[in-house]
Amino acid sequence: MKQEANTKKKYRKYDGAFKAEAIRQIEQGRSVSELAASLGVGQSLLHRWKKRPKGGSTGPSTETLQLRKEMKRLKEENEILKKALSTFSRLD
């Protein structure tokens, strides 16, 4: 019988300081292939980090967080109204 290998790939997470230092070294003229080999990361990953806007976070924006909060509140209100309608409909 064949054993199934764990198909879920584990990804490493890199903090902002590590990424910033890698980008700084690329901008100072160090080759991407050399830097990728020395850091143990892929060249394509370094290129993605370089393309990402400066100072941009990878998380959701403030507006997105506010919209999610409002959507949650509206869903809760909707559920309350559905329950109230159901209750009042049974009274007749």
In a domain, 18, yes or no: yes
Whether residue 32 lies inside any domain: the answer is: yes
Per-residue pLDDT of the chain (92 residues; tens, 9 = 90+): 455 556 777 888 888 899 999 999 999 999 999 999 999 999 999 999 988 866 556 677 888 899 999 999 999 999 999 999 998 888 76
* Domain extent at residue 91: 59-92
Q: 17 and 51 share a domain? A: yes
Q: Report the alpha-carbon distance of residue 57 to residue 65 in Å, rounded.
A: 13
**Residue 7 belongs to some domain of the structure:** no
Q: Where are the beta strands (DSSP E) in 1-92?
A: none
Residue 17 shares a structural domain with residue 52: yes
Buried b (16+ CB within 10 A) or exposed e, 5-24: eeeeeeeeeeeeeebeebbe
71 domain residue, yes or no: yes
User: pTM higher than 0.85 for the full model?
Assistant: no
Q: What is the rounded CA–CA span in Å between residue 7 and residue 72?
A: 34
Q: Are residues 51 and 81 in the same domain?
A: no
